[in-house]
Amino acid sequence: MRIALSLALLLLAPAAGAADGVPDIYRQSYLAEARGDYGGAVQLLERLGPAGGTYVAQLRKGWLLHLAGQHAPSAEAYQRAVALEPSAVEARLGAMLPLMALRRWKDAERMGEEALALAPGDFTAVSRLAWIQYSQAQWARAEALYRRALAGWPASAEMRTGLGWSLLKQGRNKEAREAFEAVLLYAPDQVSAREGLGQVP
């Protein structure tokens, strides 16, 4: 009986050791990220074994790969995270970043719309969707989204600046000037707003 118990404990020991190592791997990965060693932070996650297939691991891998400029693998990792947690908003928001970097506008837009369906009014989703529309020269759509973001966050210098640029691109110079000037009243060093104001005829 004692021999059987000892054998069972011996067989369980490696599994327990692996589980105990997971927090330390994450800790080391965060430290590597803080140093700017994004590739090293990703490599550490490869040591997670089965735990590397979890939602959190895939979410973190997506983020680190994006920071490392590996946008296609980043998008894939985020997609795996979405598949693991279909109701997750954060994975969809994360996926928007590499997709935007790849200029895969339609895919990024779909992720943003899915995020909004799950979390109506989410500021990050709305703000990124506004930029996506602006980047595709859809000035009126961008304007509507920037206004939607500003309805909830009126003090956002970034969103009001985006609104100003969207108005400027539509030739609505008076409104654009007002938007840029409003930003510069409380964010006088906002470079994009100052640049936009300088381009208003």
35-120, what's its fold? Answer: 1.25.40
Closest CA to 25 of 55, 45, 39: 45
Print pLDDT tens along the chain (201 aa): 444 433 333 333 344 344 459 999 999 999 999 999 999 999 999 999 999 999 999 999 999 999 999 999 999 999 999 999 999 999 999 999 999 999 999 999 999 999 999 999 999 999 999 999 999 999 999 999 999 999 999 999 999 999 999 999 999 999 999 999 999 999 999 999 999 999 999
**Tokens (6 digits) for 101:** 């970097």
Distance CA 133, CA 145 (A): 9
> CA–CA separation, 201 vs 193, rounded Å?
15
Residue ranges, CATH 1.25.40.10, the chain: 35-120, 122-201
The superfamily CATH assigns to domain 122-201 is Tetratricopeptide repeat domain (1.25.40.10)
Question: Is 100 within 8 Å of 110 (Cβ atoms)?
Answer: no
Per-residue DSSP letter, 153: -
pTM listed for this prediction: 0.86
Q: Are 197 and 184 in contact (CB under 8 A)?
A: yes
DSSP class per residue in 122-178: -HHHHHHHHHHHHHTT-HHHHHHHHHHHHHH-TT-HHHHHHHHHHHHHTT-HHHHHH
